[in-house]
Structure 1
Amino acid sequence: MPVYTVHAPSPAGADLRAADKFVFVRDGFHFWAMIFGPFWLLWNRLWLALIGYLIFVAAFNAGLSSLGRSSIFFADLIVAVLMGFEASSLRRWTLSRGKWRQLDIVVGDDGDTAERRFFERWSEKNGIAGDQWTIDRGGPPPTRSVPGQPFSNPPPIPAGGIIGLFPEPGGSR
């Protein structure tokens, strides 16, 4: 199962209001980072990592230019595989430079499962599990007949009948 690290935007931003800004970074091999390394770095807005990658590859290829094209190809292939393995580390490094802090490590089949597991554990730890504003999407809808529900009574029907576009039965058209 994939492992995800959870990052919050700032040390003070790890509260309920900033929960939509949390970032989940999957640990492991990133295929698209291996195939399209610079474009993957651009897509994820890892600017310093992109500059370092381009400088490293240019200097590495210049240093290997005397050995021939096949050695440059194999060296670039090794650099691409290393980029696939270290892509998530580069993303975590960029987040830590931006004063993001790592909140937790979560294991899940996919990003949605990891997010659900994290927020279940995080809400219990922060004491917001019984919050009245949270909604259980799997339960039945709330009803007015259950005592203790925070509903008001419906407004009374107007004395003149129902207001709307429909005429009264038996009336003129």
Structure 2
Amino acid sequence: MRFFTLHERPARPGGDPEVLAVASGFRWWAAVVPPLWLLWHRLWLGFALYMLFSIVLGIALAIGDIADPAATAIGLAVSFLIGAGAADYRRWTLQRRGWRFGGVLRASDAAEAEALYIRNRGAGLTAAPPVAVTPSSPQAFPPAVLPRGGSSDAFPRLL
């Protein structure tokens, strides 16, 4: 089971709002083939920035006369970072396009998460009651006053 964030597009006149579930975690396809993943999810700004970054990185590696193993390591690191941040970039893009954050659910796949969200939409899925946290004892740590003798038994001197 995975965690999904649910996003809701505002309803058009005479229609129901559209719901989209975005899974948390690493995106293997975004790491392996970033341009195709970005185009598939219609992340045009991300695609343009990726292409610009790839061109600049290629020129910098050529000008700097970087050895092939180091260039491969840099490319793998960039791919790893893209795969790690792909879901967050998709959420940011949805928010920028006007989609409203609906909540977080745990489900086995996106279709189940969307169905659970639609079924429980009016049940206050995102609103959780605040939890009051009270300390078990009023004692502050570390103690404000050292014990007599100017040394603390909790931290004895080693010399």
Q: Same fold (TM over 0.5)?
A: yes
Q: What is aligned with 1:135?
A: none
Amino acid at match of 1:55: L
Amino acid at match of 2:16: A
Q: What is the rounded CA distance, in whole Å, between the counterparts of 2:28 and 2:16 in structure 1?
A: 30
- Secondary structure of 2:23's match? strand
Q: What is the rounded CA distance, in whole Å, between the counterparts of 2:6 and 2:114 in structure 1?
A: 9
- 8 Å CA contact 1:4–1:25 kept in 2: the answer is yes
Larger Rg: 1
**Which of 12, 15, 30 in structure 2 is aligned with 1:33?**
30
Deviation at 1:99, TM superposition (A): 1.4
**Which of 9, 16, 21 in structure 2 is aligned with 1:18?**
16
Q: What is the rounded CA distance, in whole Å, between the counterparts of 2:105 and 2:59 in structure 1?
A: 42
- 8 Å CA contact 1:2–1:108 kept in 2: the answer is yes
Q: What is the rounded CA distance, in whole Å, between the counterparts of 1:72 and 1:101 in structure 2?
A: 40
Deviation at 1:117, TM superposition (A): 2.3
Q: What is the rounded CA distance, in whole Å, between the counterparts of 1:33 and 1:59 in structure 2?
A: 20
Deviation at 1:96, TM superposition (A): 1.3
- Secondary structure of 1:18's match? coil
The Cα offsets for residues 44-76 of structure 1, whole Å up to 9 and x where unpaired, read as 110000011111222223223322222111111
- 8 Å CA contact 1:7–1:101 kept in 2: the answer is yes
The residue correspondences of 1:17-166 to structure 2 (distance < 5 A) are 17-19=15-17, 21-65=18-62, 66-125=65-124
Deviation at 1:18, TM superposition (A): 2.5
Amino acid at match of 2:5: T
* Contiguous gaps of at least 5 residues in structure 2: 126-159
- 8 Å CA contact 2:5–2:103 kept in 1: the answer is yes
What RMSD in Å do the two structures reach over aligned CA positions?
Answer: 2.3
Deviation at 1:120, TM superposition (A): 2.7
For normalisation by structure 1, the TM-score amounts to 0.63
What is the number of residues matched between the two proteins? 123
Deviation at 1:34, TM superposition (A): 1.0
- 8 Å CA contact 1:29–1:85 kept in 2: the answer is yes
- 8 Å CA contact 1:64–1:71 kept in 2: the answer is no
Percent identity between the aligned chains? 30
**Residues 1:8 and 2:5 aligned together:** no
- Secondary structure of 1:115's match? helix
- Secondary structure of 2:108's match? coil
* Contiguous gaps of at least 5 residues in structure 1: 127-173
